[in-house]
Amino acid sequence: MARRLDGVVRRCYASAIAQGALLFTESTVYMHRELDVAFEIRYVPALADKPSTKPKEKQGAKGFVNPFLPYDERLHVAMLGGGSHHLLLNKYCVVPNHLLITTAEFRQQGEPLDEADFAAVLEVVGGLEPKQIVFYNSGEESGASQPHKHLQVLPMPAYMDVPPSTSIWARSEPPLGRVHTAAALPFAHFGVRLCEAPRPCSAELAAAYAAALGALTAAHGTDVSYNMVLTRTALMLFPRQHSSWRGISVNSLGFAGLVLCKTQDERALLEGAGVLRILACVGFPRTGQEAPPAE
């Protein structure tokens, strides 16, 4: 699949759009600088009409239908891992070619990732352009909405080499392969710097994730929600205590530094309070750091 998946994704995306199976939503991007790094605030007014539902609420709702089992054939891109996972287009996207890696059999969103999950991730990113963000929303306060286990893959903005939060974290020169925190980030985080060449194998990624998750749960408990952001340079976990701040929902992309808002008032709130301080509010402020009021 290596290096030919880009074309398959583009063709599937165009076909799904033409058939009405995929709904692309227009948005406007604003840049916001903190700590000399450009954060992305994406204004998506159509999100104002989309209800915010957590996985357990959605799963327990009358008439709930799992969109991944069975999946819509028009959104299917490839089978992964010999059948353990599927690669699907995200039906509701604000960035073209937004992909989902779903387990073929039902598994609960929030279960720890395993080597098979990372093998599926490598199968996908190995066939795409190198600048991709892989993320996983785990738990009720993580910004997750679907109860079926899935990771997401998104093309990184062309003007970014690494996500803003990762860029700030990397300034502290984290050691290779060890869990590291950076004083500059005001919220709890557990990152592992990855070897870029050669790319880590699935077992090495699973080990890095397990080390970061072990450090996270030792500090915040085994039931805590968290976000994972994976790029070619780092794997980072961010524990969560709230899914939103003043109506602004935050998932893994928010902790990467790519934040969505539904109204211009929300955009003004983000820029006024500062993205990093809001992330400290929905996450866990580090000792000595102040978070804005939650109400």
Q: Read off the pLDDT of residues 214-251 as tens digits, 9 standing for 90 and up.
A: 999 999 999 999 999 999 999 999 999 999 999 999 99
pLDDT band at 288 (very low <50, low <70, confident <90, very high): low
Mean pLDDT in the chain? 93
Q: Give the model's pLDDT for residue 294.
A: 47
Is 76 part of the annotated catalytic residue set? no
Q: Give the model's pLDDT for residue 130.
A: 79
Q: Give the model's pLDDT for residue 48.
A: 81
Residue 56 has pLDDT above 50, yes or no: yes
Residue 292 inside a domain? The answer is no
User: Hey, is 189 helix, strand or coil?
Assistant: coil
Indicate the residue type of 90: N
Cα distance between residue 134 and residue 151, in whole Å: 7
* 202 contacts 184 by C-beta, under 8 angstroms: no
Residue 194 has pLDDT above 80, yes or no: yes
pLDDT band at 1 (very low <50, low <70, confident <90, very high): very low
Ordered DSSP codes for 172-231: T-PPBTSEE--TT-SB--EEEE---SSPP-HHHHHHHHHHHHHHHHHHH-TT-EEEEEE-
Q: Please state, in angstroms and as integers, the Cα–Cα distance from residue 74 to each residue in 41, 89, 155, following that order.
A: 31, 9, 21
Cα distance between residue 142 and residue 124, in whole Å: 24
Q: Give the model's pLDDT for residue 84.
A: 97
Cα distance between residue 280 and residue 257, in whole Å: 12
Q: Going by C-beta distance under 8 Å and a sequence separation of 6 or more, which residues neighbour residue 188?
A: 181, 216, 219, 220, 238, 239, 283, 284, 285, 286
Question: Where residue 90 sits, what CATH number does that domain have?
Answer: 3.30.428.70
Q: Give the model's pLDDT for residue 98.
A: 97
Task: Sheet with 37-43: list strands edge to edge.
Answer: 28-34, 37-43, 258-261
What average pLDDT score do residues 99-109 get?
A: 97
Residue 79 inside a domain? The answer is yes
Q: Identify the active-site residue in 85, 98, 148, 150.
A: 150
Residue 37 has pLDDT above 60, yes or no: yes
For 170-192, what is each residue's pLDDT tens digit? Answer: 999 999 999 999 999 999 999 99
Residue 293 has pLDDT above 60, yes or no: no
Residue 200 has pLDDT above 70, yes or no: yes
User: Hey, is 62 helix, strand or coil?
Assistant: coil
Q: Which domain holds residue 223?
A: 5-281
For 127-162, what is each residue's pLDDT tens digit? Answer: 998 799 999 999 999 999 899 999 999 999 988 989
Q: Which residues pair with 9 in a beta bridge?
A: none
The count of structural domains within the chain is 1
What average pLDDT score do residues 98-118 get?
A: 97
* 102 contacts 86 by C-beta, under 8 angstroms: yes
Residue 118 inside a domain? The answer is yes
Residue 289 has pLDDT above 70, yes or no: no
Cα distance between residue 249 and residue 141, in whole Å: 10
Q: Please state, in angstroms and as integers, the Cα–Cα distance from residue 210 to each residue in 140, 152, 215, 236, following that order.
A: 20, 19, 9, 11
What average pLDDT score do residues 10-19 get?
A: 97
Residue 286 inside a domain? The answer is no
More confident of the two residues 57 and 65:
65
Residue 287 inside a domain? The answer is no
Q: Please state, in angstroms and as integers, the Cα–Cα distance from residue 163 to each residue in 19, 44, 254, 289, following that order.
A: 33, 20, 10, 22
DSSP 148: B
pLDDT over 70 for what percent of the chain? 95
Q: Give the model's pLDDT for residue 295.
A: 42
| Stretch among 112-126, 235-249, 279-293 having the lowest mean pLDDT | 279-293
Indicate the residue type of 61: A
Residue 289 inside a domain? The answer is no
Distance of CA 289 to the CA centre of its chain: 24
Classify residue 212 by burial, with Cβ atoms within 10 Å: 0-12, 13-18, 19+.
buried
Residue 206 inside a domain? The answer is yes
Residue 67 inside a domain? The answer is yes
* 286 contacts 169 by C-beta, under 8 angstroms: no
